[in-house]
Every structure is written in structure tokens, then in C-alpha cells.
Amino acid sequence: MPTSRPKVKVIVTRRLPEPVETRMSELFDVELNTSDTPMTIEQLGEAASRCDVLVPTITDKIDGRMLARAGDRMRLIAQFGAGVNNIDVQACISRGITVTNTPGVLTEDTADMTMALMLAVPRRIVDGVGAIQSGQFTGWSPTWMLGRRIFGKRLGIVGMGRIGTAVARRAKAFGLQIHYHNRKPVREQVANELEATYWESLDQMLARMDIVSINCPHTPATYHLISARRIKLMKPEAYLVNTARGEVIDEAALIRALETGELAGAGLDVFENEPNLNPRLKALRNVVVLPHMSSATLEGRIDMGEKVIINIKTFADGHRPPDRVIPAML
């Protein structure tokens, strides 16, 4: 009688939603991180040395040092996340390791949170909650808790991919005028649907917008894309929203602009040096800072897990995984 093939050895670096872990356990020989404690580079290397597939998250640094500890057994890194800036993809490829990610499943969740921040900062929603909780509210007044209207304002989207386009659809329903900067214009049908204006020059767009939403990936080309010089181009009454990656904005320059009134406010779900938040940023009253939770829905996390499972199973069956990452994509 033919013997069945041994199950693929999979090591997962963080806790995943229970339905995902259960399904993985049914299909593979899985080792779960039940403590949910982030692994050190030594622990990542040790794990990689005894598995066929490593399932890291965006908080795990997969670089040359870690790969040097990994040996030759691991053939697939199935990232639980859309971004792969924590992985040296080129180093993986040079060692014959395939890298996959989970694109597309978090688009709507991230766009929802972008819109929430776009409302929360100008309308001072967090200030209002704080006033209620601290007992400051003693009754309505014509001048109490005044914010700024977003209807009719100009929204500039930096990065008109899946998420940027989803943000634009929501913002248009709220009556904002849609403008965007991207490597190339979107399809004419999409531009017409959104009544969107394309700006080839990011500088020129930033100088004219009331709200700017950052929705581009973090790559070497986008590191500090919103630099001190570009922040100075923005109007003093403008707001900046970032649900992409903290490294896209020069955070020190942003803090200075917010402290001095050169910018009206900011809504940030991401920041540089996560999870360490600059105390100056935390102290600002014109800023709403969230703990990187734009994609944090149960539905989204399960969808991500299903993509990871499909990528592993496809690879284990000897086929090319559907979400394989190649350097040209970065």
C-alpha cells in the first residue's frame, strides 16, 4: 500500500484567530505560538531551521542575519499580512525561498478606518468623548466643541491602489472632492465614477488640499515621502490622515507642524518606531492616534488566514502559490 506523505511542518510566529489555527492544525503539522510573545531574531532563526514553512507577521524581521541561522529546510515564508517590508525578499529568493503575502483582503476595513479618522479629527470626536467622560459637558452652547466641516472639502489621496480607491468611494459619498497622486492615472472608468482629478505633481496637490490621506505602501522610494519640505507646502487648515505605514511621513517634521499650528490636525493609525509612540505626539490635542488597528476586524483576519492556508497548500502540492511576492511588485 502506498504511504501518505508526511504533513508539511509549519511554524506560526504569533496567535491567529481560532478558526485559522484550527484549520491549519487539520491540514499541516503546525506549531503555534500560544503565548503570542514576539520572537527574537534567534528564535525566528531556530524556528526556521526546523520547519518547511514559516508564517510570520509584519512585526517579525526576516533579514539576512535571520536567514543565515535558518539552514536549508525552510522553503516558504507565508506572511500573515499584506505588507512585506519586514522581509528581505531578494535575500529569500537568492536562497531559493518563496515568499507569499495576503493582498486585497483588508481593503475595505482599512478604508473604513481611514474615513473614521477623516471624520474624527476635524469634528473633534475624541475631544467630545473626553468631555463627557470627565464631566466637562454642562449643556449645549453655540460655541461649544466647534470643529470643521468636511463636506465640499478637497481630499488628496497619496496612492490610488485598492485602498486609496476604496477611500475615494467613501469620501465621495460624504461630499468630498476627490484628488489623487499616483505613479500613473487610474483607469478612465474609475476616474469618471469618482470624478477624480489626477495630479502628476505631489507637491502641487499637497499645497491645495484640505485633507490628505496616505494610502501608499512603504518602500525605499516612499520613505519620508511626506517630508518636512512637503509638510510646509500644506495649508495651515489642512489635516493629514495616515493608515498606511508610519515611515511614509517624517514624523518629527509632522509633530513640529502640529505644535506650531502649521497644520490643523492629524489622524494616525500608524507611526514611526512602533510600538513606541513619541510622547510629543501623544500630548497633542489636535491629533488622534490609534494602535495600528485599521485592519483589525475578525472577518479580515480570518480572510488573511485563509489566504495563508491556500498559499501553503498550493506550494506543498508542487504548484506556484497565488500570492507569490517578487521584487518587481515592491
Instruction: Tell me the catalytic residues.
Output: 245, 274, 292
Instruction: State how far the Cα of 104 lies from the Cα of 193, in Å rounded to an integer.
Output: 21
Cβ–Cβ < 8 Å for 87, 213: no
Q: Phi/psi class of residue 121: alpha, beta or left (left: φ > 0; alpha: ψ in -120 to 50)?
A: alpha
Cβ–Cβ < 8 Å for 161, 216: yes
Sheet holding 197-198, edge to edge: 197-198, 177-181, 154-158, 211-214, 239-242, 265-268, 287-289
Instruction: State how far the Cα of 86 lies from the Cα of 6, in Å rounded to an integer.
Output: 30
Cβ–Cβ < 8 Å for 248, 225: yes
Q: How far is CA 262 from CA 126, 149, 272, in A?
A: 21, 19, 20
Q: Containing H/E element for 255?
A: helix 251-260
| Cis before 275? omega within 30 | yes
